[in-house]
A and B are shown apart, each in its own frame.
Chain A
Amino acid sequence: MLIYSFIISFMIGISLISIILKERTGILLKFTLGSGLGLAISSFLYFLWVLSGADFIYFQGFELILAFTLLFIVYKNNTFDFLKKTDKDENENYSFIFKFFQLNFLFSLFLALTFFFVIVQKYPDGLRDAFTIWNAHAKFLLFGQHWKDCLTNDIMWFHPDYPLLLPGIVARGWKYCSNTSEIVPITLSFFYLFGTIALVGSAIAALRGKFQALISSSIILGMFFLVGCGATQNADLPLGFYILSTIVLIKLYTEFNNKYLLIASGMAAGSAAWCKNEGLLFLYSLVAAGFILMVFSKKLWQNRDKICRFIAGLAPVLLIIMFYKLKLAPTNDIFLLQTPELLTRKLLDASRYIIALKYFVGSVLFMGGFASPFVLVLYNLLTGFKVNIKKDFTVCLTFLTLAIMLFGEFFIYIITPHNLEWHLETSINRLFIQILPVFIFCYFLITHSLEELLDDKQ
């Protein structure tokens, strides 16, 4: 039943993406984008089913009908391009350097897989955040009528206000399996970890060629902290996955001018917001960054139909989130334990800024455990990069969004009611894990590829 539950979710998402994304982009990109969206859709449906209090058979029936309806549309439109090759595939370059990086990638993948299973074997319930927040909420969701009992600040350390994307998927898997096996969250964490790496690689392969894809995926695979974060069932990587999906879909829209991709992008952004509170911050930052860029380029009115499409994808998800946050969830601990005097005192305390800045710089330098961020700086300086601020909307949008997001996070730390150093120490590196995949994606979008460098030589 576990495999069945995943297949149904994947069928929904992959079919939906195949209907929207008709362009030839390769099987892996559609599979990863679609599977992630499928899981998110299943999570929303499960949450709505819990609210409805209906029998589980109706939920199963609805999912099955939805999956086969979407599959039928794909079949009728003949948009399954599983066996088609992308244009980039046809220009494969099997030089020595390419083969060397291919081997390197396989070795990195082997190490990451080994690490994943070693950690899972030692921590099958994940780390504390996994079983006290995500899987605990999933258990409450599983026990139907009493699930709202957990929405109280009497168990504040279980973060009762956190969004329910992951708990929804886990509870759904458990419901299908009729038990609370640890295999369900482990399988999910496997998907989100290797799905994120596959999404970066496949999106870069479709947009910039295989060599860039190999390097970018190898770099993410080399971040042991990121792999550990995935293996220990933290929600930061699923959030990173949905942030990345949002940006990849916007980039694919600018590449293919397929406006339906903006609807999918809105759905992905909503999924990020339903994944973690930081996802809500990402959504606000994305909207703010988009608004700023459009106002500065004087194209706000011109882009109204695109904005509407993004909102069309986002709206249903946002309504669920608003209902949950406004009607059900208790106040977040960061804001619950505040008074105006405390806030003012913290905001005016210079030492807090210095401490937070120190940790932020430390996290940038740590870069998820990769050799050093200076390698990327040096590589960029040596091989060169191309970015046209006026033309490359996605890259500008991403970097501005990330800047606003980090600015917001920085101030959350400044006003935190908890011990500042403890709060930073326990969360700052995970915070960067949320944005590293999308950062690597954008970095390799603007860096010259080996193919371009070889072409120049010829």
Chain B
Amino acid sequence: MLKREIRAKIGIFVIAAGILYSNIQFLALNYMIYTDKMRMYSDSPQRKELVGIKERYKLLKKSLPEHGRVGFITDDINRAYNSGADYFYAQYMLIPVLVLNSSKPDIFVSRFYNPVKPEFLKEKKLEIVKDFGGGVMLLRKRGS
């Protein structure tokens, strides 16, 4: 059995080594993330990927009523709800208007990633009210 003094010294060495290891790991992580060699949060868009989009939603908000409910439409569900989080950004930017993941409302906001085909709009029975660019549009149901 080791003497208490020696055990204490080894203990302090172990904890110092643990902290040093964590610091080195942290230093490497800092460098990798700062230089974009690694992406820590893959399912959240970074500031540079949102350039323009937030401003477009801000402009769109001015065309909406003060409060109420609108629908959300996209041509890439996976991107809008997962990797790009655009649906969530749309809701965040348009508060206090509620952006529903539903086809019930008469007014819709969009985030299209590809040029919109007239057939797509015809199929969904929608018409464009205003195009804010970058796939952000205000649409309404035909005849509403």
Does B116 interact with chain A (Cβ within 8 Å)? no
CA distance in complex: A376, B21 (Å): 13
Q: Which residues of the partner chain A approach B30 to less than 8 Å between Cβ atoms?
A: 111, 114-115, 118
**Known contacts A157-B88, A382-B7; is A222 also within 8 Å of B22 by CB?**
yes
Does B119 interact with chain A (Cβ within 8 Å)? no
Does B4 interact with chain A (Cβ within 8 Å)? yes
Does B44 interact with chain A (Cβ within 8 Å)? yes
CA distance in complex: A75, B69 (Å): 52
Closest to A115 in B: B30
**Known contacts A132-B92, A149-B96, A382-B11; is A108 also within 8 Å of B19 by CB?**
yes
Contact B8–A369 (Cβ < 8 Å): no
CB distance from A237 to the nearest CB of B (A): 16
Q: Which residues of the partner chain A approach B41 to less than 8 Å between Cβ atoms?
A: 123, 127, 232
Q: Which residues of the partner chain A approach B34 to less than 8 Å between Cβ atoms?
A: 118
Does B27 interact with chain A (Cβ within 8 Å)? yes
Does A228 interact with chain B (Cβ within 8 Å)? yes
Contact of A122 (CB < 8 Å), options: B26, B47, B69, B89: B47
Contact B11–A378 (Cβ < 8 Å): yes
Contact B44–A128 (Cβ < 8 Å): yes
CA distance in complex: A378, B18 (Å): 11
Number of interface residues of B (CB under 8 A): 45
**Known contacts A128-B85, A157-B88; is A453 also within 8 Å of B8 by CB?**
yes
Does A154 interact with chain B (Cβ within 8 Å)? yes
Q: Which residues of the partner chain A approach B43 to less than 8 Å between Cβ atoms?
A: 128
Closest to B100 in A: A154
Q: Mark A125-158, 1 if CB is under 8 A from B, else 0.
A: 1011001100110011001001101101011011
Contact B67–A146 (Cβ < 8 Å): yes
Contact B33–A140 (Cβ < 8 Å): no
Contact B98–A123 (Cβ < 8 Å): no
CB-CB contacts below 8 Å: B1-56 with A: 4-5, 7-8, 10-12, 14-23, 25-27, 29-30, 33-34, 40-41, 43-44, 46-47
Does B99 interact with chain A (Cβ within 8 Å)? yes
Closest to B54 in A: A125
Stretch at the interface among A99-107, A294-302, A400-408, A412-420: A99-107
Does B114 interact with chain A (Cβ within 8 Å)? no
CB distance from A165 to the nearest CB of B (A): 19
**Known contacts A143-B96, A155-B100; is A136 also within 8 Å of B19 by CB?**
no
Contact A218–B19 (Cβ < 8 Å): yes
Does A215 interact with chain B (Cβ within 8 Å)? yes
Q: Which residues of the partner chain A approach B22 to less than 8 Å between Cβ atoms?
A: 108, 219, 222-224, 369-371
Highest count of chain A CB atoms <10 Å: which of B19, B41, B44? B19
CA distance in complex: A132, B98 (Å): 12
CB distance from B62 to the nearest CB of A (A): 15
Contact B16–A125 (Cβ < 8 Å): no
CB distance from A188 to the nearest CB of B (A): 17
CA distance in complex: A124, B15 (Å): 34
CB distance from A263 to the nearest CB of B (A): 36
Contact of A152 (CB < 8 Å), options: B8, B19, B96, B98: B98
Contact of A131 (CB < 8 Å), options: B4, B92, B100: B92
CA distance in complex: A450, B16 (Å): 13
Q: Mark A285-325, 1 if CB is under 8 A from B, else 0.
A: 00000000000000000000000000000000000000000
Contact of B88 (CB < 8 Å), options: A132, A149, A150: A132
CB distance from A193 to the nearest CB of B (A): 14
Contact of B98 (CB < 8 Å), options: A111, A154, A227: A154
Q: Which residues of the partner chain A approach B14 to less than 8 Å between Cβ atoms?
A: 375, 378-379, 382
Chain A to chain B contacts (Cβ below 8 Å), 13 pairs: A104-B16, A114-B30, A127-B44, A128-B88, A131-B92, A132-B88, A135-B92, A136-B95, A215-B15, A371-B17, A378-B11, A382-B7, A384-B4
A-B pairs with lowest CB-CB distance, top 10: A222-B22, A382-B11, A375-B18, A383-B11, A139-B95, A371-B21, A371-B18, A143-B96, A146-B96, A453-B8
Further contacts, 5 of them, CB under 8 A, given A158-B91, A222-B25, A456-B5 = A132-B88, A227-B26, A369-B22, A382-B8, A453-B5
